[in-house]
Structure 1
Amino acid sequence: MELTAPNSVYLDLETTGLNCNGEDEVLEIALVGADGETLFHTLLKPERLKAWPVAESIHGISPDDVVGYPSLDEVLNPVIDLVWGRQLVIYNAPFDLSFLPDAVAEGAAEVRCCMLAFAQAYGEPDPKRGGFKWKKLGFAAEHVGHVWSGRAHSALADAQATRSVWQWLARQGAV
Structure 2
Amino acid sequence: MDFIALDFETANKMRGSACSIGLVQVENGRITNSYYSLIKPKQNWFDPFHTSIHGITKEDVMSSPEFDEVWNELFPLLAGKMVVAHNASFDMSVLRNVLTDYDLGFPSFDYSCSLLAARAAWPNLVSHKLNLLANILQIPLSHHDALEDARAAAQVMLQIFNDTNTVSFDTLHTALSMQAGTIHSNGYTPARGKKARSAKR
TM-score by length of 2: 0.70
Q: Does 1:27 align with 2:19?
A: yes
2:162 is aligned to 171
Give the secondary structure class of the aligned counterpart of 1:99.
helix
1:134 CA displacement: 6.0
Equivalence map 1:47-126=2 (5 Å): 47-101=42-96, 106-108=107-109, 110-124=110-124
Higher strand share: 2
Quickly say closer, same or farther: Cα 1:159–1:59, change in 2 above 3 A.
same
One-letter amino acid of the counterpart of residue 36, structure 1: I
How many residues matched?
156
Give the secondary structure class of the aligned counterpart of 1:172.
helix
Give the secondary structure class of the aligned counterpart of 1:32.
strand
2:135 is aligned to 142
* 2:12–2:45 Cα contact (<8 Å) kept: no
* 1:92–1:116 Cα contact (<8 Å) kept: yes
One-letter amino acid of the counterpart of residue 16, structure 1: A
Distance 1:38 1:58 in 2: 26
Q: What does the per-residue CA deviation read over 1:66-108, in whole Å, with 9 as the maximum and x for residues that have no partner? A: 111011122113212101222101111111111113755x422
Specify which of 37, 44, 50 is matched with residue 39 of structure 2. 44
Q: Which of these two proteins has the greater Rg computed from alpha carbons?
A: 2
Unaligned runs of 5+ in 2: 100-104, 167-171, 173-201
Unaligned runs of 5+ in 1: 126-132
Give the secondary structure class of the aligned counterpart of 1:158.
helix
One-letter amino acid of the counterpart of residue 118, structure 1: A
Distance 2:45 2:13 in 1: 16
TM-score by length of 1: 0.80
* 2:121–2:160 Cα contact (<8 Å) kept: yes
Give the secondary structure class of the aligned counterpart of 1:111.
strand
One-letter amino acid of the counterpart of residue 147, structure 1: P
Between the aligned residues of both structures, percent identity stands at: 30
* 1:11–1:30 Cα contact (<8 Å) kept: yes
Quickly say closer, same or farther: Cα 1:114–1:18, change in 2 above 3 A.
farther
1:152 is aligned to 143
